[in-house]
Chain A
Amino acid sequence: MDTLALLADGFATSLSPLNIMIVLLGVTAGLFIGAMPGLGSVNGVAIVLPLTFIVPPSSAIILLCAIYYGAMYGGAISSILLGIPGASTAVATTFDGRPLAQQGKAGLALIAAAVASFIGGTISVVLFTLFAVPLADLALAFGPAEEFALVLMAFTTFVGLGGDDKLKTIIMICLGLVLSTVGLDLISGQPRLIFGDMPGFYSGISFLVLAIGVYGIGEILYTIESSRTAPQVTPARITLRDLGDGIRTMNRMWRTMSLGSFLGFFVGMLPAAGATPAALMAYGIARSTSKTPSSFGKGNLEGVAAPETANNAASTGSLLPMLTLGIPGSPTTALLLGGMVMWGLMPGPMLFIEQPEFVWGLISSLYTANFAAVAINIALIPLFVWALRMPFTVLCALVMVLCIVGGFAPSQKMHDVWLIAGFGVAGYLLRKADYPLAPLVLALVLGPLMEKSFRQTLIAEQGNILAFVERPLSGTFIALAALFFVLPLVKYLRKGGARSIAPAE
């Protein structure tokens, strides 16, 4: 009851005309920033942060939430239209979003992404409203061992399946993991794999650089080669009927979407994990529990809906440890945390007690931002789809410029732009030789988390490797990971091995 009263007060603030304007502005800006390959919510929030000093904190936090949400929606746009994940959270969206766009169904995929994001956002905000405080303790129960087990689970839900060439998949996973170790060894504090002391490698190889390289440049080169012999991209079109069809189709995906929302919220809540493993796990689970797993990776709408519900739910979830524990789960929440400190608020266990107006104002603005984001997103879909109808040579030229500028923007190093070009050429050749690229990118994203938590656990437990299974929470995750790994095998055996398992890509 108390909660509801506080939330009502929050809505009274966030629904004032000025604040509604702010939400619309923020969401639109966020949407475009998120849709740009290389840029994400972190760029938008970083720019606006100093400005928030000038406006009152309640309006400032609304603006920040609006940009945060807008960018989460926007991430799916570049994944679907260009096949370049704008942020690691949107990798899984490319797996089915890109094929859909190539079949001329970009509009449908974008609608699915928007609706799924809305559902994920809504369910997670409700969970947040109801359980924010008690759930903080769960986040605390996660130590390095549990983190490792969780990442392992994210990995196996994904890798356990798939009918690609096994040897080549293994090579790509290992390559991704090795590339993820470039830079600094956190445990000993020594640089490693910096290839003859090149300072550009000190900070490691960022996910964005690899993704823009192999999915951006590599994809363009691949399409240039195949475009004249067999056109791959069907011109996209969108009508109002598509919108209705899209929403009707979505109606059949409640199971996937609610699973994605819960999974996203709970995984996103854990400081070390966040939205990326959540989206991957949602995709993996949607595929392995589907009646037609073979349709995944070839343009199944559920393959767009699952990761999109999960990553949006996770972005709400990751606000929870920031507010209740003062621990940011992602660079963006770290910046939000910095903003709160600047406004003189002390995030942590006391925030809910000492600053209830702020907390519930924030939560109510999440609701408002979510509504605004889905409305603006759907309204802009025709514009995005229209952009895809440009002549191929024009689109390629513009995307390449975007790849260069977007690759430079996050770290502001020419080193990264060269790496993008290199990865682009390498990705093109590997793709032609039937090496799967998704495991490479996934391994790079999950690798650092895996190695760090694995070694932290072993140090803390004096080298006792059994620690992973002895702890109840991490033991459970390891068991689940093993289950996900063998599940496809069981399915395969039950079918008598007559039909082979679904190909992943």
Chain B
Amino acid sequence: MLVADRVIAIAIMALSAYLMWHATALPIGWNGMTGGPGGGAFPFWLSLIMLLSAGGVLVRSLGQEKSSQHFFDGQMLRSVIAVVIALFVTIALIPLVGAYVALPLFLFWYLKIYGGHGWVLTGILTLGAPVFVFFFFEATLKILLPKGVTEPLFFPLYAMFF
């Protein structure tokens, strides 16, 4: 727990420094000419406060004793990492093969392999979700989702529903 707390505090400090560096692209001081702070002032000084506060968290944790509680539970961590990887792979696939291939693949993986559900439930949801998404988002709300290489397959559908 304590180690994780320190690692996160250090990560926030690094992030703050990074943000401060980007903020300096615009003036960070009080500009007398235009009356008021420059464009970089808000992000710069707020990031500095963030940096100092995270430093405070780090210093505070140095005085604390090690607790027996672990930040991660080994087995649970594996499930979380599996889901995160699946999520990232799905998002990466969307622009390539389209949402209507990537999302059913994700559902299939999650329900059948990760969740251990039966074929019937998996089948209904894996096939039903894209149909619902198409009719709700595309046909009704006219919000087009990325199709990637599957785009030509949708031309007849567009002709029918628009």
Contacts and interface: CB of A to CB of B under 8 A. Distances in A.
Asked if A and B form a direct contact in the complex, defined as CB atoms under 8 angstroms apart, the reply is yes
Interface of A: 33, 36, 39, 43-44, 47, 167-168, 170-171, 174-175, 177-178, 181, 185, 187-188, 190, 192-193, 195, 217, 220-221, 224-226, 228-229, 391, 393-394, 396-398, 400-401, 404-405, 408-409, 412, 414, 417-418, 421, 424-425, 428-430, 432-433, 435, 451, 454-455, 457-464
Interface in B100-124: 103, 106-107, 110-111, 114-117, 121
B36 to A, nearest CB: 3
B14 to A, nearest CB: 13
B32 A463 contact: yes
Interface residues of B, number: 66
Interface of B: 4-5, 8, 12, 19, 22-23, 25-26, 30, 32, 34-40, 42-43, 46-47, 49-50, 53-54, 56-57, 60, 71, 73, 76-77, 79-80, 83-84, 87-88, 90-91, 94-95, 99, 103, 106-107, 110-111, 114-117, 121, 125, 129, 133, 136-137, 140-146
B50 A175 contact: yes
**Taking chain B's interface residues, is the majority helix, strand, or loop, or is none over half, making it mixed?**
helix
B87 A421 contact: yes
Nearest to A184: B39
A261 B30 CA distance: 40
29 contacts: A33-B141, A39-B141, A43-B143, A167-B53, A167-B54, A171-B12, A171-B54, A171-B57, A178-B47, A181-B23, A188-B38, A195-B22, A221-B80, A221-B83, A221-B84, A225-B73, A225-B76, A228-B79, A393-B117, A396-B83, A397-B107, A397-B125, A408-B146, A414-B91, A417-B94, A429-B8, A430-B8, A432-B71, A463-B35
Contacts of A458: 35-37
Given A33-B141, A193-B22, A405 B43 contact: no
Of A171, A229, A391, A463, which is in contact with the most chain B CB atoms at under 10 Å from its CB? A171
Given A224-B80, A405-B103, A412-B143, A418 B39 contact: no
Given A229-B73, A397-B106, A401-B103, A178 B46 contact: yes
Contacts of A398: 107, 125, 129
B43 A167 contact: no
